[in-house]
Structure 1
């Protein structure tokens, strides 16, 4: 697997080797020993799978307790995936890294603990799968506003014919960065 560092060094784009022929393809998406060799010595405890229609924006979510790192990928369709640094003392606090993940490119995105995470569906439908380093803890979940002016994420809405994202009520009511709960970067 090839590793590409994003503009935030802890956020990684992983490009697996894909072996394919006229019958289909094979790729390895996770091997604990390889991750450990790369310094990503995390134990994954929960797998999630979601399906969303074009224009759905999920996020930007994070948990203040049972903080999750996420290894994410798309098995059907295409999304614009985003990680925002919520570690208050980090030199990249409030900055974001982003990547397009699709069933065609088969890339994986590593979102470390201490980051808010979200994605926008660019295709007619997308299936999104992710491994988490801790369990879902709804009591401590927070949501950063997708359109926070300080973070200023360049969501590719118009490029994909999306006039406005489809949001849950929780995401519509998310925090702006100055009011959002943050992490002590020494925790990670």
Structure 2
């Protein structure tokens, strides 16, 4: 026979847990334990075996203040981590929004660069056309100047002919009828 308090210490549970099992399994334990007044309750070896088998079937939770405190600390930490997770998710959403804006801006820049390249090509083509037109204009100007010099030479030659014609003495016919200009 073993005292209830000793059996509880041996099993690592409280006296109250053993007393609850005694009440719960009273039919199976009938006559296997004795209450001896102020000395407490005494259990037989058979009662101890039955109680051990029942305690193995049902886990007995030992209430410990440090476990409750740890649980509260873990809950507080979990709440803090959830807040941090929410903040990180908010940051991720903002970064995704900024990334979308940057992608759109890069696309716009690419389009502007392509447009600038097209305009630069058009400008290059226009410069080539202007150079070609300038060279044609230079050729035309030179041809015009040549023609002008040729005409000036002809005019000068005709002036000289006219002067020489004016200097020549008049024929009889010209004196009578006049000079034809």
TM-score, with length taken from structure 2: 0.16
Larger Rg: 2
Higher RCO by CA contacts (8 Å cutoff, separation 6 or greater): 1
